Amino acid sequence: GTNNLKDPAMTDGDIAQGVGAAAAQLLRAVAPPSSVAAPAAAAVLVLALLPRHGLRHEPSARVRRRVENINAAVAELVASRDDPRLAFLDCGAVFLNGGGEGEREKEGKVEGGSAYRSSREGEGEDTGRPYDINPELMPDFLHPSAKGYHKMFSECLIPAIRRFEL
């Protein structure tokens, strides 16, 4: 996930594949396929990488594009599994100034696009904007504060978990 962004040798595809592989392994471990007689007792909710600012070797605008690309790829991987025990959830907008359009989650799919996507113009260049992260919710622009976790849980995670029918 986000820690892999620190490795310049890791591509966005490598990171997305790693997240997808971890989700598949977890799904096999905690939620074996259900039969008609015995429905699944657990499910896996794959969370999108949260918005973050830049790294030493990459400016914030480029990191933003990478996070968005990785999240889109992970959402596609989850959707391609076509498994009702697996879903993708993007809670990133709750950490942004003017964000918080709520979560975009569907069983095995992600709804719409990210509320914090930048323009894709100048694809290989650092022409985009960095995230407008609320420092009260993510003071170091990487780790949520207690207030940030509370907002993410109350506005995004808990409503999504309640919709998961097990």
Q: Is the dihedral of CA 12, 18, 23, 27 positive or negative?
A: positive
Helix, strand or coil, per DSSP, at residue 45 = strand
- 22 within a domain of the structure (yes/no): yes
Q: Which residue has the higher pLDDT, 96 or 111?
A: 96
- Which tens digits make up the pLDDT trace of 104-123? 333 343 433 333 333 333 33
Q: How confident is the model at residue 99 (pLDDT cuts 50, 70, 90)?
A: low
Find the domain containing 109 and state its range: 2-27+51-163
- 40 within a domain of the structure (yes/no): no
- 43 within a domain of the structure (yes/no): no
- What is the average per-residue pLDDT within 131-146? 93
Q: Which of 20, 41, 34, 30 is nearest to 166 (CA)?
A: 41
- Which tens digits make up the pLDDT trace of 24-40? 899 888 876 665 445 56
- 12 within a domain of the structure (yes/no): yes
Largest distance between two CA atoms of the chain: 54
- 69 within a domain of the structure (yes/no): yes
Is the pLDDT at 23 greater than 50, yes or no? yes
